[in-house]
A and B are shown apart, each in its own frame.
Chain A
Amino acid sequence: GSGGARLFAAVVDTFLEKLVAAGSYQRFANCYRCFYDLQPQLTRSIYDQFVSQLQASIQEEIQEVKNEGNLERLFDSLDKIVEEAKEREEPAWRPSGIPEEDMRSALLPHLLKHRSHLRRLLRDRQQDNSKVAQCVLAGRDRIAELQQLIQDRQQAWQ
Chain B
Amino acid sequence: FDELIVETAARRKQWPKKILVHAIQAMKAEQN
List chain A positions with a Cβ less than 8 A from chain B. 95, 99, 102-103, 106-107, 110-111, 113-114, 117-118, 121
Contacts and interface: CB of A to CB of B under 8 A. Distances in A.
Contacts, number: 26
B27 A110 contact: yes
A110 B12 contact: no
- Which interface class (under 10, 10 to 19, 20 to 34, 35 or more) fits B? 10 to 19
A114 B31 contact: yes
State the main secondary structure of chain A at its contact with B. Answer: helix
Interface of B: 11-12, 15-16, 19-20, 23-24, 27, 30-31
Contacts of A107: 19-20, 23
26 contacts: A95-B12, A99-B11, A99-B12, A99-B15, A102-B12, A102-B16, A103-B16, A103-B19, A106-B16, A106-B19, A106-B20, A107-B19, A107-B20, A107-B23, A110-B20, A110-B23, A110-B24, A110-B27, A111-B27, A113-B27, A114-B27, A114-B30, A114-B31, A117-B31, A118-B31, A121-B31
A110 B12 CA distance: 19
